[in-house]
Amino acid sequence: MGKKGLEKVLDQELRGEKGIQFVKVDAVGRTVSEVFPEKKKPPHPGKDVYLTLDARLQLYADTLLEGKQGALVAVDVRNGEILTLLSKPDYDLAEFSEAINPALWASLISDTTKPLFDRAAQATYPPGSTYKLVAAVAALNEGIISPSWTVTCPGYFRIGRRTVRCWKAEGHGSLDLIGAIKNSCNVYFYQLGLKIGIDLWHEYSKLFLFGKKTNVELTSENAGLVPSKEYYDKVYGKNGWTKGLLANVAIGQGELLVTPLQMAQFAMILANSGIYHPLHLRKKLVDRITGEVDTVAVQTFRVKKIRPEVFEVVREGMREVVDGGTGWQASVWGLTGAGKTGTAQNPHGKPHAWFIGFAPFEDPEIAVAVIVENGGSGGGVAAPIVGKYLRRYFSFQGKYDYEAERKWRIKMWKLQQKQKALQDSLDALEQSLQDTLPQ
């Protein structure tokens, strides 16, 4: 039955069991009588599989990424249930319910946008600035820096003979760690990466479960790549690589590769200050005959070694990202969220746009990861998608009201207009008084 993905993984549960009956037949194959009735076994239909996916959110996410290439993964951080798992472009699954039309199959496999490729689980990308959070955690937890460690960003940084740039050409000026996360300063994290070193950076990447599959119920999931000292020695020769490579991976570039599923898992870990639950798509299995329900048990783990106060600092930086930082367009009126933008350089075209985030900040429910291939800016493209998705999610929870937000914004606009009119009147009055004074 199952040829790919979830249906292949759960094939045994869906397939059921064949029945057994022994009969005596005549010369033309007609049943004459039953024999060995004690060995008769009735067939047992396959179990019904209930998924964690929210159909309403899945459909809405599909509209948000319409016409784009990318993926969106949303997770309930309280139990690891995947609420949305979207890869775009996609195809009509109904076409595969029976023998597929050869012409349609030919068009699918020749399509350069690869609709058959599951970008959420199989595609790997450099994570861009979203990965700066790993360097921040490593440096804080190891006592290499304090949250108040300050760097002055002039817009560039020299590593030996090489000059690397910040995304903000004129520089960010003086920033501490939270300011560097909020403004996604490359220069700050170039220096942080050099302080940490490749071994610690690799260790903390592994602590956050990068470089290994999430083991969600899918086939062909990709593990990604977290380069190590041994990896670079093999590629470039022993000690034949430069510090520039380390500075590059510290900001999520270079050989480092992750999947959208891994990034959603990462966002969940940060949301829960180190606690995580294995990602899963299967909610329960129901036996059609007995009515027996087999519910997937929620497992809980904690990331080793990292102190709670370290997560507090990094989470505060993520809150600042959404509250007036590079990811402000992911904000939800009436709620406090947190996140991190990423703009991953791409040698084959425009940068990939990333955003990971979670909400509410104080008591997290949901984490989201979005990538738009060749989308450009993470803050300008991916963050608004997450903002719209979260508004829809919280509207279903009764915690967000679009109409209430609209009325509030109109009220604020009118208040601003009144304040402006009052200030204009005061300025005019002051000018008229000055005109009456003797020169």
What does the mean pLDDT of the chain come to?
92
- Write the pLDDT tens digit of every residue in 327-368: 999 999 999 999 999 999 888 889 999 999 999 999 999 999
Cis peptide before 260 (omega within 30 of 0): no
Options 87, 107, 110, 129, the catalytic residue = 129
- Write the pLDDT tens digit of every residue in 123-179: 999 999 999 999 999 999 999 999 999 999 999 999 988 899 999 999 999 999 999
Residue type at 122 in one-letter notation? Q
Q: Evaluate if residue 432 carries a pLDDT over 90.
A: no
What was the pLDDT predicted at 372? 98
CB burial readout 135-147, b (16+ within 10 A) else e: bbbbbbbbeebeb
User: Could you give phi then psi for residue 69, rounded to 5 degrees?
Assistant: -110, 125
Q: Evaluate if residue 11 carries a pLDDT over 70.
A: yes
Contact residues for 428 (Cβ-Cβ < 8 A; gap 6+): none
Structure-token pair, residue 321: 């990202």
What SS3 class is residue 227?
coil
Contact residues for 87 (Cβ-Cβ < 8 A; gap 6+): 71, 117, 118, 119, 120, 121, 123
E strand map for 169-221: 173-175
Structure-token pair, residue 179: 């300011």
Instruction: Locate the domains of the chain by residue range.
Output: 13-46, 70-88+117-400, 407-432
Question: What residues are paired with 162 via a beta bridge?
Answer: 159
Sign of the four-CA dihedral 335, 336, 342, 343 = positive
Sheet holding 82-88, edge to edge: 82-88, 70-76, 366-372, 352-359, 338-344
Contact residues for 390 (Cβ-Cβ < 8 A; gap 6+): 330, 332, 335, 337, 357, 359, 366, 368
Cβ atoms of 185 and 172 within 8 Å: the answer is: yes
Provide CATH code, domain 70-88+117-400. Answer: 3.40.710.10
User: CA torsion 263→269→272→273, rounded to 10°?
Assistant: -130
Position with higher pLDDT, 245 vs 60: 60
Average pLDDT over residues 310-319: 98
What was the pLDDT predicted at 364? 98
Q: Tell me which of 378-387, 407-416, 418-427 is least confident.
A: 407-416
Q: Evaluate if residue 425 carries a pLDDT over 90.
A: no
What was the pLDDT predicted at 341? 98
Q: Evaluate if residue 421 carries a pLDDT over 90.
A: no
User: Could you give phi then psi for residue 332, rounded to 5 degrees?
Assistant: -125, 125
Q: Tell me which of 52-56, 69-73, 245-249, 385-389 is least confident.
A: 245-249
Q: Tell me which of 115-129, 234-248, 292-306, 425-439 is least confident.
A: 425-439
Cβ atoms of 250 and 189 within 8 Å: the answer is: yes
Instruction: Note if 220 is an active site residue.
Output: no
Q: Evaluate if residue 42 carries a pLDDT over 90.
A: no
Share of the chain above pLDDT 70, in %: 97
In degrees, rounded to 5, the angle at the alpha carbon of residue 233 between the alpha carbons of residues 230 and 238 is: 125
- Write the pLDDT tens digit of every residue in 267-287: 999 999 999 999 999 999 999
> Which contiguous run of DSSP H or E holds residue 106?
helix 102-110
Q: Tell me which of 30-44, 152-166, 207-221, 375-389 is least confident.
A: 30-44
What SS3 class is residue 311?
helix
Average pLDDT over residues 274-303: 94
Average pLDDT over residues 290-308: 95
| H-assigned helices in 218-325 | 229-236, 243-250, 260-271, 308-322
